Amino acid sequence: MGRSAAFFDLDKTVIAKSSALAFGRPFYRDGLITRRDVVKSAYAQLMFRLGGTDEHTMARTRDYLAALCKGWPVEQVRQIVAETLHELINPYVYAEAAALIMEHQAAGRDVVLVSASGEEMVRPIGELLGVTDVIATRMTVRDGRYSGEVEFYAAGPSKVEAVSELATARGYDLADSYAYSDSYSDRPLLECVGHPSVVNPDRQLRKLASENAWPVLEFRHPIPLGRRLRERPAVPVAAAALGVGVGVAIGIAWYGRHRRTRAAATA
């Protein structure tokens, strides 16, 4: 029997928000996106939510993200993520997910984050969680800037292809491996391992889990790292039974409301 691994989707599975949404505010602040992009991003978000599991919608989302990011300096994106990671991501990591990741690691399994978000976001989030292996969307880079092309889009069946390649290279036994996701679009990922679990599922995914007798986990406690370390025994996992650009519009809208609320409070 080969080694086993645990594959975790990121958004709404490990963290309680969209990673792209989380970084929308500093992207807007630093001029990477404009007000016009807000409208286009809102449309892309709506289309993904309405039909994000079909191949055509995934392809449109991929192409939109590539066009949105075209010309962005890669180093600027990395710097923004590094500077805002602890403020925008750390408080929203589910305590149940963090504990489950640690349990898999303690059992000797490799843990892999598998996300459609950009690698420049996903890898630092992985490091925050003590996870070094990630499968994420990779944009083509030329002369230090995104070219407007996607080298690898980590969504749907493409996730399974990357997982299978990693399993072959590492000697993982997928029949003895685990996968966790909140999204029906990750059905191929869940079906490729012997121990799939759904996290905070919507109706469609919950129905699929019921049909296949998959465990349904409810993660409800996003807690910052410091508190997770102090309070870990109080969050028993057993009781717990989206690339760059998608969600940006919602993030900016939230930021606008947040600033107005603060201004009103100090007036």
State the catalytic residues.
9, 11
Give dist(CA 4, CA 105) in Å, integer. 11
Give buried/exposed letters for 6-34 (b at 16+ CB in 10 A, else e): bbbbbbbbbbbbbbbbbbbbbbbeeebbe
| DSSP assignment string, 160-181 | HHHHHHHHHHHTB-GGG-EEEE
Q: Which two tokens stand for residue 168?
A: 């072959």
Nearest to 44 by CA among 144, 125, 116: 116
- CB within 8 Å of 115: residues ≥ 6 apart: 9, 10, 11, 19, 122, 134, 135, 136, 137, 154
Alpha-carbon distance of 2 to 132, in angstroms, equals: 20
